[in-house]
């Protein structure tokens, strides 16, 4: 029958549109901030928002950034950073979770706590001077909200600066959609001891990211100057950059609309033939 054939065409057209979805990857690595700045800037440009930050790390309502440097000492090493700090204290629409015991940002110079989590020969800052890590875990999950609310949201891009990636195929960023389906996974480039790596993924076909999983090395930091084990690569993070969290409009892409129109036209033609008694193909 013509109607089922048209229906199959419609389904195939929609599947083809979904299959074309992809992310553009921005990545670089090197010994210092200069080695990755151009890539970071290109990622910024892809999202938009310019270079002048407004309140709560907002760039023109298009992009948010977290550089950790505004975190007060009360929430920095040796103290823990609240998982919801960047949706409550400084609302930027992200909440962290980890299978570990919490999160920590490194201490500023001039205090009694050693900077760089107590590992000056392993780490450096991309944007001086605080860094970020999970505690007792190498896994950080980032979920998105309308900033300052409990309303779940999604984003279209996320990137981060990694510090001291020495082992290939270990540190990575993964994106999951609202159904918890993995839609993007990419390993972080090796930068060597104390080196800096940037990795970001940018949606180019309407994809929406509900959760980001960051895997940082194989080792863990348990406290200032203390590692989970003495042998594996320990990796921490600096700046996070992401598109403004929000809700995607429930409107098909223009190409999807065209495909739907073609499919529906086929269905209507079939119905007309059936009604007029014309022979079927």
The number of folded domains in the chain is 1
11 assigned to some structural domain: no
How much is the pLDDT for 255? 36
Tens of pLDDT, residue by residue over 136-168, are 999 999 999 999 999 999 999 999 999 999 999
pTM of the model: 0.82
Residue 166 in 3-state DSSP? coil
How much is the pLDDT for 281? 39
How much is the pLDDT for 5? 28
14 assigned to some structural domain: no
151 assigned to some structural domain: yes
Tens of pLDDT, residue by residue over 97-122, are 999 999 999 999 999 999 999 999 99
Point out the least confidently predicted range of 91-100, 189-198, 213-222, 261-270: 261-270
269 assigned to some structural domain: no
268 assigned to some structural domain: no
278 assigned to some structural domain: no
For residue 102, the enclosing domain spans 19-254
5 assigned to some structural domain: no
Sheet with 94-97, strands from edge to edge, namely 94-97, 139-144, 211-215, 172-176, 182-187
132 assigned to some structural domain: yes
């Amino acid at each position: 029958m013509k109607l089922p054939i048209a229906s199959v065409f419609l389904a195939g057209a929609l599947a083809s549109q979904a299959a074309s979805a992809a992310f553009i990857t921005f990545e670089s690595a090197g010994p210092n901030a200069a080695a990755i700045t151009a890539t970071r800037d290109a990622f910024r440009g892809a999202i938009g928002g310019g270079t002048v930050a407004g309140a709560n790390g907002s760039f023109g309502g298009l992009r948010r950034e977290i550089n950790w440097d505004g975190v007060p000492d009360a929430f920095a090493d040796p103290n823990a950073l609240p998982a919801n700090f960047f949706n409550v204290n400084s609302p930027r629409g992200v909440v962290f979770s980890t299978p570990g015991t919490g999160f920590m940002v490194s201490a500023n110079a001039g205090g009694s706590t050693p900077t760089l989590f107590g590992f000056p020969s392993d780490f450096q800052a991309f944007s001086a001077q605080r860094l970020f890590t999970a505690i007792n875990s190498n896994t950080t999950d980032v979920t998105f909200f309308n900033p300052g609310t409990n309303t779940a949201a999604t984003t279209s891009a996320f990137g981060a600066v990694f510090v001291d990636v020495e082992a290939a195929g270990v540190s990575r960023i993964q994106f999951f959609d609202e159904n918890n389906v993995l839609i993007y996974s990419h390993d972080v480039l090796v930068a060597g001891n104390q080196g800096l790596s940037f990795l970001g993924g940018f949606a180019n076909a309407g994809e929406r990211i509900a959760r980001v999983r960051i895997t940082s090395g194989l080792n863990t930091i348990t406290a200032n100057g203390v590692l989970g084990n003495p042998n594996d690569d320990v990796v921490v993070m600096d700046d996070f950059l992401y598109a403004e969290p929000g809700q995607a409009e429930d409107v098909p892409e223009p190409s999807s609309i065209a495909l739907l129109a073609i499919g529906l036209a086929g269905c209507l033609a079939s119905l007309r033939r059936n009604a007029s008694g014309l022979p079927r193909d």
